[in-house]
Amino acid sequence: MPFTDNNLNKEALGETKTFAVADRSADALKARINRDNSQALRAKAAQQRGSSLAVGKENAQSPEPSGSTDRPSVLDAIRAAGAVPAEERAVREQDPGSRRPVRANGYADEDEAKSDRMLLEEEDEPVRRPAQEKRTASRPVQGTGERRQMTKTRTSDFKVDEVSRASSGKKKKEPEVVYEASDEGGNTVLSLIKAIVYIIFVLISAVALSVFGISVANDMFAFVKSDEAVQVTIPPNATLDELAQILADEGVIRYPRIFKLYAIHKAHDDMEYIAGDYTVSPMTNYSGLLYEFKEKEVTGTVRITIPEGFTTDDIIDLFVNRYGIGTREGFVNVIQNGDFSDYWFVRELEEKGANPNRIYRLDGYLFPDTYEFYLNSSEQTVINRLLRRFSQIFTREYRNQCAELGFTVDQIVTLASMIEKEAAAPSEFFNVSSVFHNRLKIPDVFPRMESDATVVYAIEHDTGERTVDLHYDSPYNTYMYDGLPPGPIANPSASAMLAALMVPETSFYYFVSGNGVTYFSETKEEHDRHIEEIRQAEAALNMVEPDAPQGGDNP
């Protein structure tokens, strides 16, 4: 096949090209060698003109067969150089009569022709060597009855183009790329067979892996499995290995190792399982099986209403004892130590320093309202919701009013909690607020607030009993200690906080509640008279002596 630049480019890119050299390729090469050798012979003929003329006459007397030229061919040169084997020549020298007749093609027999063809095949292979070897031989050629002397120049160690350059002195030719016949055909078949075997192996492996992957996925996610319930028993302190093996033995799962890997790396299982007898279905996926042997969490939501004026202890008991949300220890820890610095009033309380005798840090800020909680809500979540609601009610305007009155936010919340606990009804909030504010304005005359509610709060927190003892020694006893208590005594409503900020102008310095009525007084005498009236009314109802003690007095 012809060789083009495209063939060269493909070969340069690493593509293997298999081809066969046609017979006419050797003929073309022979013709080219003939031309080059003829030029060399002509050059010599110019130097030896006398001898070449004699040879020319001899040739003129013995014409060559038709189709021949005056230039000797390479084939004639090879024949003249000794195409007859050496053994044959030896026999002929000894016995001239034993020579075999020369055929028309110049060879005595087929062996001579085969020998010449082998020489021509050697000439087709370009081999580089340090020096050029030339050999000249002559022999008589029979067939025409004339003897001709021919010279053959064999260039076996140099490329054809180098011989031409040395003999003719013409312009240097570019070296030609010589392609050899290759036996790549057999290798291609073998490579094809290997590729087919490899593809078959890959397909079989892929099918096997696919089948295994589908089986594992079905076991993990329970796509198509039996729905027949299975009884399993989990022993105390069972490990993940034991659980996986139990489920595999009972036919719930097929791959215990995959189950363990899923539990560790995917589900991040804590490996704590509740011992007991279970009824499970193979149709349950791995995640559901792991959940089946855990302690069940309470789910769902619940609406919780915190009454106005509830103390912090009341709120904790409501969540823990009635709704099962959190623990008392958890709530106390969050209230006392939880990070709620996102709320400005908590930051202000901490920056200004809370009274060290304060019972709960967040007293007064757990706003009473109706909420909806998840049953598995944490203590942090609950307290955060109550504080967020307080921040919505106690606005920036309220904060500014505190500063105008000369109070801190915590002091106003404390006053609001006392108003909430002392007033018999919300309609009395403003008059009660005026009494406390009037007393605080003249501390020299009224150094103490004398509120029964503050004493009750301290006693109830310390003992769990709701009683009044005006002699109970506590910083919250406003009969014994001056000014406001260390902190709020309840969580006031929005109305109570508004009453603590919007103080009406009155002349009241005392009030007392009894029989569902609150009596406000400007003087001590008027206040004592109201106290006596309440006692007589209670004595009449309870059939007790009028002078029997009935607890402390309000301001």
Q: Is the dihedral of CA 334, 339, 342, 347 positive or negative?
A: positive
Cβ atoms of 225 and 252 within 8 Å: the answer is: no
Is residue 470 classed as helix, strand or coil in its secondary structure? coil
| pLDDT band at 338; cut points 50, 70, 90 | very high
DSSP-derived secondary structure letter, 282: T
Model pLDDT, residue 184 = 59
- Tens-place pLDDT, residues 7-61: 444 444 444 444 444 444 566 676 777 777 777 777 766 666 654 444 444 444 4
Confirm if 415 and 433 have CB atoms less than 8 A apart. yes
Tokens of 203: 């397909």
Q: Both tokens of residue 198? A: 């490899």
Least confident among 73-77, 241-245, 485-489: 73-77
DSSP string, 199-217: HHHHHHHHHHHHHHHHHHH
The pTM of the full predicted model, rounded to 2 decimals, is: 0.51
In angstroms, the first-to-last Cα distance of the chain is: 126
Is residue 82 predicted with pLDDT exceeding 60?
no
Question: CA 86, 88, 94, 99: dihedral to nearest 10 degrees?
Answer: -140
Task: Judge contact between 348 and 472, C-beta under 8 A.
Answer: no
Q: Which domains does the chain have, with CATH numbers?
A: 23-168 (no CATH), 216-292 (3.30.1490.480), 301-506 (no CATH)
Q: How far apart are CA 404 and CA 407, in angstroms?
A: 8
Helix (H, G, I), strand (E, B) or coil at 165: helix
pLDDT top residue among 249 and 175: 249
pLDDT grade for 180, boundaries at 50, 70 and 90: low
- Give the whole-angstrom CA distance, residue 79 versus residue 141: 8
Token representation of residue 35? 């031309």
Angle between helical axes of 23-47 and 160-168 (0-180°, round to 10): 20
**Burial classification of residue 148, based on how many CB atoms lie within 10 Å of its CB (0-12 exposed, 13-18 middle, 19 or more buried):** middle
The label of the residue with tokens 């203590």 reads: 379
Torsion of CA 400, 403, 407, 412, to 10 degrees: 0
Q: Which residues neighbour 123 within 8 Å (Cβ) at sequence distance 6 or greater?
A: 29, 30, 33, 154, 156
pLDDT at 239: 92
Work out the mean pLDDT of the chain and round it to a whole number.
76
pLDDT at position 266, please?
Answer: 80
pLDDT (tens digit per residue) in 117-161 = 555 555 544 444 444 444 444 444 444 444 444 434 444 444 444
Most confident of 71-85, 136-150, 225-239, 439-453: 439-453
SS3 state of residue 404: helix
Amino acid present at 24: R
Residue 416 pLDDT class (50, 70, 90 cuts): very high
Predicted confidence (pLDDT) per residue in 254-311, tens digit: 899 999 999 898 878 878 888 888 888 888 889 888 888 887 666 689 999 999 999 9
CA distance 520 to 316: 35
Tokens coding 365: 């800020």
Report H helices in 222-307. 240-249, 256-261, 286-292
